């Protein structure tokens, strides 16, 4: 067992507290799940806010066809423990900048401003926002959850499907072959 002096322990606590001040209180809020209780107790509200978020970062995506928020909740990706915090932060920034208006009720242009504010915030918040944006866009555009569907936005048809031979070859493939051999054995 290690015997730590009071002075040494206070020094470490001071260093830890100083680290929180340098990077803001976002890491502590994330680690301790300090966000509005309305999001912790109301998953439907979180879902509505995150739907508005994905609508802003995936212009032209049809939410009726695929659940755009699915990658944010997917337990295979590291963002899922922080979705309530993301929704609470989006709403807090929205209320602060747009006179108490919730994020989901803003126009797309105003939502873009709120997201840009989050991307220009402290380091941890930037990582959270940029991670959510990148993850959602990659999953959507790559068609991660539906191989057959593909993605019309990037003109990807989806997984390979057998094609008729006339779509895979040229009309006269023999025109690309070398000519006959001459008397000396070279192509004419």
Beta bridge partners of 187: 181
pLDDT tens profile 57-112: 988 887 676 788 889 998 988 888 888 889 999 999 999 999 999 999 999 999 99
Mean of the per-residue pLDDT values of the chain = 78
**This model's pTM is above 0.85:** no
Confidence class of residue 15 from pLDDT cuts 50, 70 and 90? Answer: very low
Give the mean model confidence (pLDDT) for residues 40-55.
Answer: 87
Lowest mean pLDDT among 38-47, 126-135, 144-153: 144-153
Residue where the block lists tokens 């260093």: 15
pLDDT tens profile 131-153: 999 999 888 887 777 767 777 76
Whether pLDDT at 130 is above 80: yes
Residue where the block lists tokens 């976002």: 26
Give the mean model confidence (pLDDT) for residues 156-171.
Answer: 81
Whether pLDDT at 50 is above 70: yes
Whether pLDDT at 6 is above 70: no
Confidence class of residue 52 from pLDDT cuts 50, 70 and 90? Answer: very high
CA angle 98, 101, 104 (to 5 degrees): 115
Highest mean pLDDT among 12-16, 24-28, 60-64: 60-64
d(CA 8, CA 28) in angstroms, rounded, equals 22
Whether pLDDT at 166 is above 60: yes
Alpha-carbon distance values, 102 to 14, 119, 125, 175 (Å): 37, 18, 19, 66
């Amino acid at each position: 067992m290690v015997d730590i002096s009071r002075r040494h322990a206070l020094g470490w606590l001071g260093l830890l507290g100083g680290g929180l001040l340098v990077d803001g209180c976002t890491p502590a809020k994330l680690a301790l799940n300090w966000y509005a209780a309305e999001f912790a107790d109301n998953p439907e509200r979180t879902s509505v806010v995150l739907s508005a978020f994905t609508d802003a970062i995936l212009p032209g995506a049809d939410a009726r066809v695929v659940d755009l928020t699915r990658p944010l909740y997917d337990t295979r990706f590291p963002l899922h423990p922080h979705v309530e915090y993301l929704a609470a932060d989006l709403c807090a920034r929205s209320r602060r900048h747009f006179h108490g208006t919730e994020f989901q009720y803003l126009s797309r242009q105003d939502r873009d401003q709120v997201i840009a504010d989050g991307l220009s915030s402290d380091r941890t918040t930037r990582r959270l926002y940029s991670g959510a944006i990148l993850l959602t866009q990659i999953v959507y555009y790559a068609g991660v959850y539906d191989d057959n569907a593909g993605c019309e936005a990037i003109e990807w048809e989806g997984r390979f499907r057998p094609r008729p031979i006339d779509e895979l070859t040229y009309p006269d493939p023999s025109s690309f072959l070398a000519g006959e051999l001459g008397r000396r054995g070279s192509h004419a």
